[in-house]
Chain A
Amino acid sequence: MKLLTHNMLTSHVKGVTKGYPLLIKATEVKVNEVEFNPKFVCRMIPKLEWSTLVQAADQLGHREELPGELVPDYEKNEDFLKKVHRVLLEVEVIEGCLQCPESGREFPISKGIPNMLLNEDEA
């Protein structure tokens, strides 16, 4: 699971009003090389919940120098874009789970694939 994907995931357990962001509890994390596309990273940034991304990177121990708030004029800052690229696309959670912040329900991640399926009584 990449952090770009995690940034969108919410818990849909019945009755939960704020199932975002999901807490990441990772037991295995990998960093893979992904081709850097600055335009893509630039376009993704406004779609992100920035604080969620930073928190997630922190939880994985991969925050490095990612700032707590967006720097102005980031479009031209290649260094910054590379850091974002790394955290969005290269860091991957292979094993672990995602926890709903409200209900505490845990969604397992196995072989990099989070399982967000709900049980009958939760849907």
Chain B
Amino acid sequence: MKLKELESCLQQVDTFEEPKILLEQYPTSPHIAACMLYTIHSSFDDIEGKLVADLGCGCGVLSIGAAMLDAGLCVGFDIDEDALEIFRRNAEEFELSNVDLLQCDLCHLEVETYAQRFDTVIMNPPFGTKHNQDL
């Protein structure tokens, strides 16, 4: 898949209906997502056939992109069920079978244990402007 195609597909991804300010929710733009994923994929070969974690996945733009680039499996982690529901719908509409979703608080996970299992971690997380410093 070419970069332009990927970007074009990601433009179809539904995003937050009502972004929650306290969670610092904002969608990753299709352009940034496509460029980022494309570089990870073509320069580093870290997506195709790999186990990918998307931390703070929100509506899943990055995960969907990774899945389209043939990640072995992309697991999205997020605290917000509304965002995950949108992600779930997106994955259904795009007919992607290589994604999995998990609702959790990343501050409460032992990140090292999970990090060891995954080949690649992608994220565009909250930056801590709204009391999210733990992240």
Contacts and interface: CB of A to CB of B under 8 A. Distances in A.
Given A12-B110, A117-B105, A4 B100 contact: yes
Interface in B82-117: 84-85, 88, 97-98, 100-105, 108-110, 113-114, 116-117
Nearest to A5: B100
Contacts of A39: 49
Contact of B108 (A9, A32, A111, A123): A123
A114 interface: yes
B37 interface: no
A97 interface: no
A116 B110 CA distance: 13
A2 interface: yes
B104 A113 contact: no
Given A10-B113, A33-B97, A111-B88, A5 B103 contact: no
A34 B98 contact: yes
Given A37-B72, A113-B88, A12 B103 contact: no
Contacts, number: 74
Q: Which range holds the interface residue count of chain A?
A: 20 to 34
Contact of A1 (B84, B100, B110): B100
Nearest to A12: B108
A2 B100 contact: yes
Given A37-B49, A113-B88, 14 more contacts: A1-B102, A4-B73, A5-B73, A5-B100, A12-B108, A35-B97, A40-B72, A40-B73, A111-B85, A111-B88, A112-B101, A115-B81, A116-B103, A117-B104
Given A112-B101, A113-B102, A5 B84 contact: no
